[in-house]
Amino acid sequence: MKAVVLAAGLGTRMRPLTFTKPKFLLPVAGRPALDHTFETMKAAGVNEIGIVVGFGKEQIMERYGDGSRFGIKLEYLHQERPLGTANAVSVAEKFVGNEDFIVMNGDTLVDLESMKSLLRVYGERKSEKGFGGVMGTIEVDEPEQFGIVIMRGEKVEKVVEKPKKSKSRLANAGLYVFTPRIFDAIRKTRKSKRGEYELTDSIQLLISWGLSVYTAPLSLWTDIGRPWDLLVANEYFLRNIRGEIRGRVEVGANVGENVYVGENSLIRSGSYIIGPVYIGRNCDIGPNCFIRPSTTIGDHVRIGNAVEIKNSIIMDHTHVGHLSYVGDSVIGMNCNLGAGTTIANLRLDGRPVKMEVGGRVISSGRRKLGTIIADNVRTGINCTINVGVKIGPDAAIGPGTVIYRDVPPNTMVYIKPSIRRKKWKS
């Protein structure tokens, strides 16, 4: 069976991280998100994959090539304009031919058991008359945040986008098996209020034609649609990391279980690391650092003396200066955090942290959430960055500055203190 991965979106809700790269290449547990998708599909026996690309396609093609390095066969399918998920699937019609096929959103991450569950239900139902497809679903606590699947018996009755009230808690997970009839439905699908062709509308057409769409329960699922979702996905995938030391650990450093240290990385004396933690290649950590669970550190990263990092993602070629604190945050590539940079991650009132996403300020649902910093950002010494703040690429923060609001790309923010002098006798 072939698979189609939808990886053409602009990732606007994930900004500022996606100003410089597609969200499908953002790191999760030390590897780009798409790596995990391809690995899961290969393990499930799916080796021929068409990937729909658009924004950032050059970066995706450069990393994956023909897929042979990952043990799969890749074909690139180009979506000329971002006209919605149904339109994205439509460009794969020639690729899949007359066969049934898998569709997976590129920002959806599942484990192998979830993929097997989807294929198991497909195997049980595919020979039934009027079979139309299978949708992966997951039970959620906040149905108003998702596309919710309404059932009638064993079959899908309809999919409702972000209902205000719903008895169902089954969310559409963005993982499907379709027959070629989906292309007939896509051709009949009209634009939504957003001006896009929605795949869920095409599924609704299949159902209206009398075709049966079933659901498959997923065990582990997350999507990386919003910045803090990256932290959730990172935490999920770090749970399965195997501890291994490929670098060097000095005497006096304490490296716990489930910590991976890459080639040529150095853990200096006095550093204390509690897994699960991933540290990439050619890193210099410490001395006297405290690296706490669910942290991913990329390649060529320098973590200075007496730094504390907790539940965060630090991308390649970034330097975190001595005496700094980074908690529940994402730091992009080629950043330099000056000595004493402190990132707040908890509101004084303990309420969930809010963040501006897609032009709206919304609750993250997280009691602890720090900052999202894009690539090539510099901070001066003793900077403080408040909870829920985003800093765009190529920005700079002057020494001693306290940041309460988002900083746009290519912007410098600094304070100009007034200094007074007078004569003094000791």
Which tens digit of pLDDT belongs to each residue from 26-44? 999 999 999 999 999 999 9
**Mean pLDDT of the residues in the chain:** 91
Cβ atoms 33, 109 nearer than 8 A: yes
**Rounded-to-10 torsion of CA 379, 383, 387, 391:** -20
The model's pTM is 0.88
- Checking if the pLDDT of 184 tops 80, the result is yes
Cβ atoms 415, 401 nearer than 8 A: yes
Q: How far apart are CA 358 and CA 13, in angstroms?
A: 5
What pLDDT shows up at residue 11?
A: 84
Q: How far apart are CA 162 and CA 379, in angstroms?
A: 39
What pLDDT shows up at residue 73?
A: 94
Q: How far apart are CA 29 and CA 354, in angstroms?
A: 25
pLDDT band at 94 (very low <50, low <70, confident <90, very high): very high
Terminal Cα distance for the chain, rounded: 84
- Checking if the pLDDT of 410 tops 80, the result is yes
Q: How far apart are CA 378 and CA 376, in angstroms?
A: 7
pLDDT band at 6 (very low <50, low <70, confident <90, very high): very high
What pLDDT shows up at residue 163?
A: 64
- Checking if the pLDDT of 101 tops 80, the result is yes
Domains of the chain are 2-224 (3.90.550.10), 232-413 (2.160.10.10)
Tokens of residue 264, six digits? 């040529």
What H or E segment, with its residue span, contains residue 414?
none
pLDDT band at 70 (very low <50, low <70, confident <90, very high): confident
- Checking if the pLDDT of 148 tops 90, the result is no
Which tens digit of pLDDT belongs to each residue from 194-245? 788 888 889 989 988 999 999 888 888 888 889 999 999 999 999 989 999 9
Tokens of residue 252, six digits? 């006096």
User: Which residues are identified as catalytic?
Assistant: 322
Nearest to 182 by CA among 52, 90, 108: 90
Cβ atoms 370, 355 nearer than 8 A: no
Tokens of residue 422, six digits? 């007078």
- Checking if the pLDDT of 177 tops 90, the result is yes
What pLDDT shows up at residue 246?
A: 95
- Checking if the pLDDT of 380 tops 80, the result is yes
Nearest to 154 by CA among 179, 121, 185: 121
Cβ neighbours of 292 (radius 10 Å): 16
- How many CA atoms does the CB half-sphere of 202 hold within 13 Å? 27
What pLDDT shows up at residue 151?
A: 78
- Checking if the pLDDT of 52 tops 80, the result is yes
Which tens digit of pLDDT belongs to each residue from 306-353? 999 999 999 999 999 999 999 999 999 999 999 999 999 999 999 999
Which tens digit of pLDDT belongs to each residue from 246-302? 999 999 999 999 999 999 999 999 999 999 999 999 999 999 999 999 999 999 999
Q: How far apart are CA 148 and CA 140, in angstroms?
A: 9
DSSP E strand stretches across 254-307 = 254-255, 259-261, 266-267, 272-273, 277-279, 284-285, 290-291, 295-297, 302-303
Percent of the chain with pLDDT over 90: 68
- Using DSSP bridges, classify how beta strands 170-178 and 131-139 pair: parallel, antiparallel or unpaired: antiparallel
What pLDDT shows up at residue 365?
A: 87
Nearest to 341 by CA among 256, 398, 273, 257: 398
Question: Own/partner pairs for 92-96, CB < 8 Å, 24+ apart?
Answer: 92/4, 92/50, 92/52, 93/180, 93/183, 95/2, 95/4, 95/50, 96/2, 96/4, 96/50, 96/180
Q: Which residue has the higher pLDDT, 111 or 291?
A: 291
- Using DSSP bridges, classify how beta strands 390-391 and 308-310 pair: parallel, antiparallel or unpaired: unpaired
CA 273, distance to chain mean position in Å, is 24
Least confident of 10-14, 56-60, 343-347: 10-14
What pLDDT shows up at residue 143?
A: 60
What pLDDT shows up at residue 138?
A: 86
Tokens of residue 345, six digits? 């991650």
What pLDDT shows up at residue 367?
A: 94
Tokens of residue 126, six digits? 């595919």
